[in-house]
A and B are shown apart, each in its own frame.
Chain A
Amino acid sequence: MRDVAVVGAGMIDFGELFEQSFDDMAERAYLNALDDVDKEISSDDIDAAWFGTLDIAENASSGLGLSHPTGLFEMPVTRVENACATGSTAFRSAVEAVRAGSADVALVLGAEKMRDSAGGLIEGASLEQVWRGRGVTMPAFFGLRATRHMEAYGTTREQVAEVSVKNHENGAKYPHAHYRFTCSVEDVVDSPQVTYPLNLYDCCPVTDGAAATVIVSEDVVDEYTDDPVWVAGSGLATDTFQRGKDESLAGFPATRQAAEQAYEEAGITADDVDVAEVHDCFTITELVTYEDLGFCETGEGGAFVESGTPHLDGEKPVNPSGGLLAKGHPIGATGVAQVNEIYEQLRGEAGAVQVENDPEYGLQHNIGIGRDATGSVSCINVLSKHRP
């Protein structure tokens, strides 16, 4: 198997982009990614593309949804859909193909129009299945973990809120973030209740966006950069709480499975991760993810964030970009933008949110719901400054 490197990353400013179409966003993210490659790259160099979108606003039901905005026709384009892990799964799929030798230069493009269609997600999740999850919305799915985590481990409401405070502090410094305000623990616990125990500031916004990444094989990497970031490992798993495992009441076993795969492939442990972009669709999601990824012991996620360890200037910065809470969560673009942020962090090009611990390994993580909202999928990619 061949080693694979990231050589270009582009995105657009995330936000409520009513004036931009799906194709407008995708085109700009693609051009930004090509521009970002250190040495010259042309569209003719691209052998194949992977396209991540849930197509919530119905713009792109095949690979043609990528070909139109990019002009990349007459080549293999694979559309990937994997709930909120769509973008990271598209990246993982592209990496596997380049590793296996079916392409030397591949494009990963993720995009989502979240604001052009009103009902979609909430109605789908809440009305789909009568008994198995009817009436269960996204905040409920994650809030159930929060209630249980607080009861089981004594995690406080304030500790859960700390995640939002941290991520908004980072997002205020991050140029592409949807929300660029800061807030206090009081602001979070006093914001309107969405689904007890989660309030408005515990939830990520509804955001439009697009992001693109260029990856290449070891055989051609020198043609594109002298400073590549390598793909060290990846993992992907599904789970459902209906299997009756108690760990799934206050956490996500799928993340534990995906992390085990990714760490093993990269030959590292959780301790080696220097910076991470993780799924924080809700505050509690990030808090339990610290535990699922092995950044701290089970039950200690609250103390972990309170200690400052995952802050921008902490020992293990998590979500320097502001995460989904501040940056936004345009589903297909989310994982791709996270990969891009880790790429910039490892190259020391992350500007105002550059972490200071001279990172060698960075991790990107998404978790998604599925079916009747009882299932979950988790995808993790680990990048490294050093060739594996």
Chain B
Amino acid sequence: MYEPPFTRDRDANERLAARECDACGWVSFPEFRDICKRCESVGEWTDTELEERGTVQSYVVQQRLPDEFETPLPLAIMDVPQTSGGDPARVYGLFTETDPEHIDIGMKAEADFRRVFDVDGLPVHSFKFKRPRGDRL
């Protein structure tokens, strides 16, 4: 990506790297700043990695979007656990290869690195979620 915001956020967009607040256990993802959003301390942080699998907390299916997106587009709030345990990160998850009928609260979904869409002809890469292979209907 040639635009500064995309370059700056590239690590967060392209890796499942996160940080855990040593004071309260909150997981900061995708941001890497010093102040904790939950306990407000300027705390110590421990680098952590997220699992490539999360749990759907809620979802919608978007039917009307700008041309850059395919519709219908399922979108969920995901809880993504740390590989080392502790609190999960709570993030938005765009879905792919998933029939809108087959998405549900409590469902597990796998993170997959994808070309999300193009901006001015340039590809933007990030994670999308999909129903795990063994669970496909």
Contacts and interface: CB of A to CB of B under 8 A. Distances in A.
Co-complex (A, B): yes
B66 A244 contact: no
Contact of A147 (B59, B65, B68, B91): B59
B107 to A, nearest CB: 12
A144 B59 contact: yes
Contacts of B100: 196
A136 B26 CA distance: 23
Given A130-B116, A134-B126, 15 more contacts: A119-B66, A123-B66, A131-B91, A131-B127, A134-B94, A135-B69, A137-B64, A139-B62, A140-B60, A140-B75, A144-B58, A144-B60, A144-B77, A195-B61, A196-B72
A92 interface: no
A195 B61 CA distance: 5
Interface string A138-174: 0110011111100100000000000000000000000
B121 to A, nearest CB: 14
Interface string A229-248: 00000000000111110000
Interface residues of B, number: 38
11 contacts: A123-B66, A131-B30, A139-B60, A147-B105, A194-B64, A195-B61, A195-B64, A196-B61, A196-B100, A240-B37, A249-B77
Contacts of A147: 58-60, 105
Contacts of A57: none
Interface string B41-57: 00000000000000001
Interface in B89-131: 90-92, 94, 100, 105, 116, 119, 124, 126-127
A127 B65 CA distance: 10
B68 A127 contact: yes
Contacts, number: 105
A236 to B, nearest CB: 18
Interface in A180-238: 193-198
Contacts of B38: 243-244
Interface in A302-360: none
Contacts of B75: 135-136, 140, 144
Contacts of B64: 137, 139, 194-195
Interface size class of A (residues with CB under 8 A): 35 or more
A372 to B, nearest CB: 8
B68 A133 contact: no
Contacts of B116: 130, 134-135
Contacts of B77: 144, 148, 241, 249
Interface in A105-136: 119, 122-123, 126-127, 129-136
Interface of B: 6, 9, 12-13, 26-27, 30, 37-38, 57-66, 68-69, 72-73, 75-77, 87, 90-92, 94, 100, 105, 116, 119, 124, 126-127
A132 B30 CA distance: 8
A197 B60 contact: yes
A93 interface: no
A374 interface: yes
B60 A195 contact: yes
Q: For B57, B58, B77, which residue has the most chain A Cβ atoms within 10 angstroms?
A: B58
Given A130-B9, A133-B92, A244 B58 contact: no
B119 A127 contact: yes
B5 to A, nearest CB: 8
B62 A195 contact: yes
B58 A196 contact: no
Q: For B26, B66, B90, which residue has the most chain A Cβ atoms within 10 angstroms?
A: B90
Contacts of A137: 62, 64-65
A300 B60 CA distance: 22
Given A127-B66, A135-B94, A196-B63, A243 B37 contact: yes
Nearest to A245: B38
Contacts of B13: 130-131
Contacts of A194: 63-64
Contacts of B119: 127
Contacts of A196: 60-61, 63, 72, 100
Contacts of B26: 243-244
